[in-house]
Amino acid sequence: MARNKVEICGVDTATLPVLKNVEMRKLFVEMQSGRHEAREKLVNGNLRLVLSVIQRFNNRGEYVDDLFQVGCIGLMKSIDNFDLSQNVKFSTYAVPMIIGEIRRYLRDNNPIRVSRSLRDIAYKSLQVKEKLISKHSKEPTAAEIAKELDLPIEDIVFALDAIQDPVSLFEPIYNDGGDPIFVMDQISDDKNKDVQWIEEIALKEAMTRLDEREKRILSMRFFQGKTQMEVADEIGISQAQVSRLEKAAIKEMNKNIQN
């Protein structure tokens, strides 16, 4: 019987070994005693774990080879940091680390540009969040995270929102055994196209009545997809001022459209 050969990064996935728990423990002991070949066997023996994880990210449009390589980095980190004294299966420990490595890669290569300063705040917020969960055994509020970092709560909210992965329109949200229902199936536009065309003209006309700074802010926010913090950095004003000017401009546009 012919086997299906699937190669990822030059690796024939059909020939990948599977290690038993007893073999794994023995190899970990050998690796921690300084035997480098034991580490290599542990990596090769757990590549199927990486394959199972990257299947969760198949709908992102990323090259499978790239995800596999990033997943292998997460696998090697988990092998190097695994503590045999803890009564935890290696796969239970490794899978979250592999997923985390892939998510970091996807965030850093996200086509939606997020400023480095905003990313730094977001990562610090996530670290504080984990620390507070460990300390209090409950999810902290944005205000509690902000207090811990001595930052405005708005900065925390914007930063965490900015690093969220965008949802694909082709993300399956329900499958009863037949054809899956995708996110795009839940989005409908019942507007008459002529009405939509007229509304677009009204919006353009309303935009011309704004001053140059208001037009620039709305353009950066809603056409370039930038956050209020990024707009503030680029224009040289505070995020609170951007928020106030944005609201005032939208209010003025609504008034012009209705008149």
Looking at 71, 94, 109, which one is the last position of a domain? 109
83 and 100 both lie in a single domain? yes
Given this model, what pLDDT does residue 76 score? 92
120 and 141 both lie in a single domain? yes
- Predicted TM-score of the model (pTM): 0.42
164 and 208 both lie in a single domain? no
105 and 135 both lie in a single domain? no
8 and 80 both lie in a single domain? yes
Cβ–Cβ contacts within 10 Å for residue 207, how many? 15
101 and 59 both lie in a single domain? yes
**Residue of higher predicted confidence among 5 and 19:** 19
Domain that holds residue 207: 189-258
Q: What is the CATH number of the domain that holds 155?
A: 1.10.10.10
Give me the mean pLDDT over the 141-168 stretch: 79
Give the long-range contacts of residues 117-120, CB within 8 A, separation 24 or more. Answer: 117/229, 117/233, 118/158, 118/159, 118/162, 118/163, 118/227, 118/229, 118/230, 119/159, 119/162, 119/163
- Binning pLDDT at 50, 70 and 90, where does residue 194 land? very low
Looking at 78, 109, 140, which one is the last position of a domain? 109
Looking at 186, 211, 233, which one is the last position of a domain? 186
Residue 182, pLDDT above cutoff 70: no
Give me the mean pLDDT over the 88-96 stretch: 83
**Residue of higher predicted confidence among 4 and 39:** 39
- The count of structural domains within the chain is 3
Identify whether the C-beta of residue 163 lies closer than 8 Å to the C-beta of residue 122.
Answer: yes
Q: What is the CATH number of the domain that holds 83?
A: 1.20.120.1810
7 and 103 both lie in a single domain? yes
Given this model, what pLDDT does residue 149 score? 92
182 and 239 both lie in a single domain? no
